[in-house]
């Protein structure tokens, strides 16, 4: 995952950009683009955490905060847009962590795991095979150079 010479805060902002694009695609009822944008949220989050060698698989396994949050969050009565907006609120702590010169790696790990687990949950609600979409997205991106230009 290339950094494209961004700061940590800019990398966190790019996650927010992808979340925004996800909400737009949902509003347009475009499930294919929505799937790709959810994959982009995951890939951008992984890219940010890889800067710090955070082991996300372990963080996700240990993410007790997710189970507590999920217990308090009823998904049944919410619109799709509300479900997507919930992941916006999970980005704020990540941005705040990245604002500091000294990065709290444990907190960044936990908050990133919470965000990714929520994205997976939303993908499940939309019946999106997120693993497949991410794999296809990575393969598609490998064919492109920097800034989407063919290699």
| Between 149 and 25, the higher pLDDT residue | 25
Residue pair 111/143 in contact (Cβ under 8 Å)? The answer is no
For residues 110-125, give the mean pLDDT: 88
The CA-CA-CA angle for residues 107, 89, 65, to 5°, reads 45
pTM score of the predicted model: 0.84
Q: Is the pLDDT of residue 16 over 90?
A: yes
pLDDT above 60: residue 148: no
- State residue 140's pLDDT score: 86
Helix, strand, coil shares, percent, the chain, to 5: 75, 0, 25
Question: Which segment, 23-27, 77-81, 136-140, is predicted with the most confidence on average?
Answer: 136-140
pLDDT value of position 69: 61
What are 50-59's pLDDT values in tens digits?
Answer: 999 988 887 7
Please state the rounded mean pLDDT for residues 78-98.
Answer: 85
The two structure tokens encoding residue 63: 């993410």
């Amino acid at each position: 995952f290339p950094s494209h010479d961004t700061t940590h805060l800019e990398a966190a902002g790019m996650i927010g950009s992808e979340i925004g694009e996800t909400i737009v695609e949902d509003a347009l009822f475009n499930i294919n683009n929505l799937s790709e944008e959810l994959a982009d949220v995951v890939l951008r989050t992984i890219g940010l955490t890889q800067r710090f060698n955070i082991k996300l698989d372990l963080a996700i396994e240990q993410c007790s905060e997710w189970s507590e949050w999920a217990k308090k969050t009823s998904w049944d009565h919410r619109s799709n847009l509300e479900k997507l907006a919930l992941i916006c609120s999970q980005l704020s702590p990540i941005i705040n962590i990245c604002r500091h010169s000294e990065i709290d790696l444990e907190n960044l790990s936990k908050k990133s795991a919470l965000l990714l687990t929520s994205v997976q949950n939303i993908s499940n609600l939309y019946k999106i095979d997120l693993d497949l979409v991410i794999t296809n997205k990575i393969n598609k991106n490998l064919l492109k150079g920097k800034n989407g230009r063919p290699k």
